[in-house]
Structures are given as C-alpha cells and as structure tokens.
Structure 1
C-alpha cells in the first residue's frame, strides 16, 4: 500500500488546486482499482456540502448555503481533512496504535508542519525573552506566525526546551 500511495498527495507547489488534485486522484484510484484511496477521496468529497457561506434571505433572515466548487478554497478542504485526521487519531489511540495507511494518506494532502528547527529559528530571531516575564507569553506570537502549520503542544515544548537550555548556560 505504501508504494501505491506515493503517487497520491498534494502540496502547494504542484500548481493545481487541492480540490482538482483530489478529483484527479479519485479518478486515478478508480482506474488503478485502489479501493482504499478511492473511498478516502469519496469521503473527503462527500464532506464538501458542509462547507458553507453565510447569506441573508430576502426576508432578512440569516442562513447559509453550500459553497459552489469554484468557491471552495484549499483551506476549506484542509479543515475537512484535519477533522478526519483528528477522528482517525482518536480511533487509533483507542486501538493503542500510532498510525494507519488511511491516516498517512489523509496527511499527504495537508501542508507540511513546521519543524522544530524552523520554530526555534523563528523564535530566536523574533522573540526577545528579556522583555517578557514567562516564555509562554511568546506562545501567542509564535502561533500567530505559524498558524495551523504548527501544533500548539509542539511549540510549547520548543519554548520550554529553549528556556531550560538558556537557564543552563
């Protein structure tokens, strides 16, 4: 399965929208009779109607409508995939497992998370620890910079590690 899924996945440098890439991968998986990838793509595409925009009806009542395919952004789809990833991680935790082919496939469509080194480099060049009382006060600015590309627990661990190392000097 791992060698089969190597052809699937997405990143922003491909020059294709995530929506189009998912549709393309679904077609490819159907041709290759790769049922696991096909079913995963159907699951993601089946959640597209959940992506809505607020509207105001003629009566003044507020409502929502599903976004048209051309209105769906990569970030909308990333949010759907993150929801499925979170669900799968919960299931795996209950089974006392750490990973699955399904989880790896879903994660291949998400942007790459910031590495520890990238987070440390940004903190060193942008955070002045002499101004703040606690290193955790820097958490907000770090998370604002990295957004969804960094896990809050990971950033917290990096900040704690940096302050421990700084105190040891």
Structure 2
C-alpha cells in the first residue's frame, strides 16, 4: 500500500472514529500533496510524499516553540497531537548516536576539513537520512564535528 493510499484509508477511519485532529492533519497533508501534483503535473511517489509530510512536521515543531513561548497551552497540546499523527507516517527517526555516526563517516568520505565544505557534507548526508532526521539537527552535528 502506497503512502497516499494509507493516508486515504486513515482519513476514512478517522472520520468514522470522529478523531478531529487526525482528520484535519491528514486532510491538510493530502491537500499539500494534491497541490504539488497539480502544480507540477506529476504523480508523487512515496519519497516525495514523505518530503511533504516532513515539511508539515517541521512547521508544527516551529509553531510549537512559538506557542510555548506565548504560554498558549491549548495550542501546545493540539500541536503535540498533530506532530504525533505526522510522525506515524515517517520512518523511525535516527537516534542522536546513529546520526552522529553517519555525520562523522560522511565528513571523512567527503574529505571535509572546514566550514567551507558544509554544502558538500549536507548534500552527501541528505540521501542517507531521508525523512529520518531533522535538517537542523544534522547541521548542528556537522558544525560540532568539523
């Protein structure tokens, strides 16, 4: 079952179970997928769908930080629930130790010696961590290990 089909089935289930948060998150994700397909006149594969879900997840995490700063506990709880729904569609996230190991290996593979090589390192790491790690976290680890 493709990721789009899974989203469709989960949408039906969430509607039957009257799960408003899951329904709204899946609806927004499906709308973003449809928008990409219409704009680019293509059929998205699972990897491209995961990229969209990752972007949605990043937006929720950024919003969560702002809501916490503002003291909006109602929105904090709702956003945490949305984040959990989105994470169910992504592969298991890498632990910090696994991610650091990949970063160190990639730095030696690329032969990086300074911050000037940051672009090459990030480009080499992206395919290895696709959908399994936050870009910001990768960036921090690369800076730490250079």
The CA deviation string for residues 84-135 of structure 1, in whole angstroms up to 9 with x for no partner, is 2233233322212595101211122123333322233234445439x54326
Structure with the higher fraction of residues in helix conformation = 2
Contact 1:127 1:138 in 2 (8 A): no
Q: Of residues 22, 32, 50 in structure 2, which corresponds to 1:47?
A: 32
Greater strand fraction, Structure 1 or Structure 2: 1
- Which residue of 35, 57, 61 corresponds with 1:85? 57
Q: How does 1:1-169 map to 2 (within 5 A)?
A: 16-52=1-37, 64-65=40-41, 67=42, 71-96=43-68, 97=76, 100-128=80-108, 132-134=112-114, 137=117, 140-141=120-121, 143-147=123-127, 148=130, 149-162=132-145
- Distance in structure 1 (CA, Å) of the matches to 2:116 and 2:94: 18
Q: CA deviation at 1:34?
A: 1.7
Instruction: After TM superposition, give the deviation of residue 19 of structure 1 in Å.
Output: 0.6
Stretches of structure 2 lacking an aligned partner (at least 5 in a row)? 69-75
Would you say the 8 A contact 1:22–1:41 is kept in 2?
yes
TM-fit CA distance, 1:47: 2.6
Kindly name which structure, 1 or 2, has the bigger radius of gyration based on alpha carbons. Answer: 1
The TM-score with structure 1 as length reference comes to 0.60
Compute the RMSD of aligned alpha carbons.
Answer: 3.1
Runs (5+) with no aligned partner, structure 1: 1-15, 55-63, 164-169
Structure 1 residue 36, shift from structure 2 partner? 1.9
Query: Take 2:32 and 2:106, find their aligned partners in 1: how far apart are those partners?
Result: 39
Deviation at 1:79, TM superposition (A): 2.9
Aligned residue pairs, count: 134
